Structure 1
Amino acid sequence: MILCCGEALIDMLPRETGAGEDAFTPYPGGAVFNTAIALGRLGVRTGFFCPMSDDMFGQRLRAALDGAGVAHALSPAVDRPCTLAFVTLTNGQAQYAFYDTGTALREMALAELPVLDDSVQALFFGGISLVSDPCGTGFATLCAHAGDRVVMMDPNIRPGFIRDESGYRARLDAMLARADIVKVSDEDLHWLMGTGEIADLAEGLRTRGPRVVIVTEGASGARAFHAGGVAHAAANRVEVVDTVGAGDTFNAGFLAALDDAGLLTRDAVATLDAEALQTALALGAKAAAVTVARAGANPPTRAEL
C-alpha cells in the first residue's frame, strides 16, 4: 500500500449562480488528498493519513476517499473544524487563500500519528501540511520513521502561506535528506535552490539526498534526474480548463507506474534506469492532462487512460 500523508481540506472553487452571481462551491481537496484519490482511481492499493474533522466537511472527505477505494482507517476523526481553501483562477492558473487556524489538519498532535505496519510499502508527503506547526512537525516525524519504505515528496510550495521561512526550510532539508524521490515544479526548484539552470539546480538538489529529482515544466513536459542521467516525457497537448490538481495527479501517475513495474523498493528506486523513469513520467503526464482538461481536481480512472 502507498500511504499518502498530508492535507485533507475543502477547496472552495469559483462558480456562478443561475442568477449570474459569483459564488464558491465546496469540493474535497488538498494536494496530498488529491494524490491519494488519483492513486485510488488508477487502481493502486492506497491509504490516506490526516486527522479529519467530524463535521459535515469531514464526512465529505471520507466519502470521497471511499468512492476512490482509498483506505482511511489510520485517519482519526477529531473535534476540530476542516481547513478551507478558497480558489481563484487567472487564465486557468489557481491561486489560494487558506483558512487553517485551529483546524483538524493544523493542530495535528504527535499522538495522532499512525503506527505503520508491513502493508505500507511507500509513503508520500507534501503540500501545505509541511508548512506550519504543529502539523508540519508531525508529518516530518512520520517521514523520519519511514524505515526501509520508499518516500516520495512534493513540497508544492505556496510562498504566500509561509510565515516562518527559516523553520520551513529546515524541515524541508531534513525530509529531502530522507526522501528517495522528490517532485518539484520549476518554480519550486528555484525557491529551494535559487537562480540558475534547471539541470544544475536539480542535480544540486539530488546531492541533498533524493535518488531521483523530477522537475515538471508545464508545456515542456517533465524531466527526471537520476544517477544514470536524465529521462524526459513530453506534455500531452490539451485545452486547459484549470490547473487545480494537475501536479497531484502527475505524482499519482508516476507512483502508479513504479507500482505496476514492481519498482517501489528503495533498492529499485536507487537504480532506476531511463526507460523505467520515462514510462513513469509519461503515465504521470497522461493522467495530469486529463485533470487539467476538466474543472477542479478530478483525476482520471485507469479506464479513462
Structure 2
Amino acid sequence: MILCCGEALIDMIPAPVAGAVPMVDGADAQTGFVPHCGGAVFNTAIALGRLGQATGLFTGLSRDLFGQQLMSALDASHVDHALAEVSDQPTTLAFVHLKDGHAAYHFFDENSAGASLRPDRLPELPEQVKTLFFGGISLCNGAAAETYARLAARETGQRIIMIDPNVRAGFASDEAAYRRRLTAMVAGAGIVKVSDEDLHWIYPGDAPIEDKIRQVLAAEAGQGPGLVILTLGSKGAKGYLRSGPTVEVPAQAAEVADTVGAGDTFNAGFLAAASEAGVLADAASGAMDLEQLRACLGYGARAAAVTVSRPGANPPWRDELAG
C-alpha cells in the first residue's frame, strides 16, 4: 500500500449563478462557489486509487457534511481512510480564484479537523504500507505539520518516502519554521518532486537550479534522496539520480481546461508506474534504470495531461491511460 499523508479539504470553485440578483451598486452577483473535494495529498490519493494502486490516506477528517463528502469520494476511488483521524472539527475550506486557467487559493483552516492532528497520536502503520507520500499545505503550520514531519522521521529507513513540498509560503504562519521543516523532510526522503519555485524558496540564493538540485541529492552525506524530479509545466519534467544521470520527458499535448491537480496527478502516475514495475526502492536509492525512470516519468505526464484537459482535480482512471 502507498499511504498518502496530508490534507483533505474542500475547494470552493467559482461558478456562474443562474438568475443573478442585482446588487446595491447595480452590478449583478453572477458568481457563486461550488464545493469540490481537494487538497494536494487528497488528489494524489484519489489518482493512485483510480490508477489501480492499493492506497490509503492519513489525514484529519471531519464528521461534518463536507467531511462526509470527502469520505464518499475516497470510497468511490478505492482509497482506504481507516488510518484517518476523524473528529467533530470543521473541514478546511479553500476558496479558489481562477485566472487564465491557473488557481490561487484563500484558506479557512483554523481549528479544522486537518489542523487537529498531534504528534503524540501517530498511528501505527500496518505491514502492507510500503511507501509514504507527503506534501501540500499540511506541512505548513502548527502541530499538524509537526505530526507529518514526525511520522516521516520515524519511518525514514523503514519505508520508502516521497515528498512534494508544493510550497505555499503565503499560508505559513512561521516561514522560518516551515522552511526548516521542509528542508529536514526533503533530506530524509528517498524521492523528491519539486518545481523550480519550490527549490528557490526552500534554498534561497542565486545559485542555478541545477546546483540546488545537486544540493538536495547531496543531503545527509549521501543518505538523502536518490531521485529528484523537477516538473516544468508545459516543458515536461526531468529526473535527476544521485548517481549522476538525468532523464527528461516532454509534457503530453492537451487542451487545457485548468491546471488544478496536475502536479498531484503527476505524482500519482509516477508512483503507480514505479510501484507496478517494482522499482520504487531503486528510485529512492538512486539506482533506478534510466529507461525505467523515463517510462515512469512519462506515465506521470500522461496522467497529468488527462487531468488538465478537464475542469478541476479529476484524475484519470487506469483504463483511460491504456494503450
Q: Tell me what 2:182 maps to.
A: 172
Q: Is the 8 A contact 2:190 2:283 kept in 1?
A: no
Which is higher, the Rg of structure 1 or of structure 2?
2
Picking from 207, 218, 221, the partner of 1:207 is 218
Shift of 1:263: 1.5
Q: Is the 8 A contact 1:107 1:133 kept in 2?
A: no
Measure the CA separation in 2 of the matches of 1:237 and 1:23. Answer: 31
Q: Is the 8 A contact 1:11 1:87 kept in 2?
A: yes
Q: Is the 8 A contact 1:131 1:168 kept in 2?
A: yes
Between 1:111-120 and 1:178-187, the stretch displaced more is 111-120
| Alignment gaps of 5+ in structure 2 | 21-29
Q: How far does the alpha carbon of each residue in 1:147-194 deviate from its partner, in whole angstroms, 9 at most, with x for none?
A: 421000001001211221111111112211210000011211221223
- 1:266–1:273 Cα change, 3 Å: closer
Q: Is the 8 A contact 2:225 2:285 kept in 1?
A: no
Q: Is the 8 A contact 1:15 1:24 kept in 2?
A: yes
Shift of 1:269: 4.0
Say if 2:9 is the partner of 1:9.
Answer: yes
Shift of 1:267: 7.7
Between 1:55-64 and 1:160-169, the stretch displaced more is 160-169
- 1:276–1:266 Cα change, 3 Å: closer
RMSD: 1.3
Identity of aligned residues (%): 52
TM-score (norm 1): 0.97
Measure the CA separation in 2 of the matches of 1:117 and 1:210. Answer: 24
Shift of 1:11: 0.6
Q: How far does the alpha carbon of each residue in 1:50-78 deviate from its partner, in whole angstroms, 9 at most, with x for none?
A: 02001111101100000000111011210
Measure the CA separation in 2 of the matches of 1:279 and 1:204. Answer: 25
Q: Is the 8 A contact 1:193 1:205 kept in 2?
A: no
Say if 2:282 is the partner of 1:282.
Answer: no
Measure the CA separation in 1 of the matches of 2:284 and 2:90. Answer: 41
Say if 2:47 is the partner of 1:38.
Answer: yes
- 1:268–1:135 Cα change, 3 Å: closer
Q: Is the 8 A contact 1:241 1:295 kept in 2?
A: yes
Greater than 6 Å deviation, 4+ residue runs: none
Count how many residue pairs are aligned between Structure 1 and Structure 2: 305
| Alignment gaps of 5+ in structure 1 | none
Amino acid at match of 1:30: G
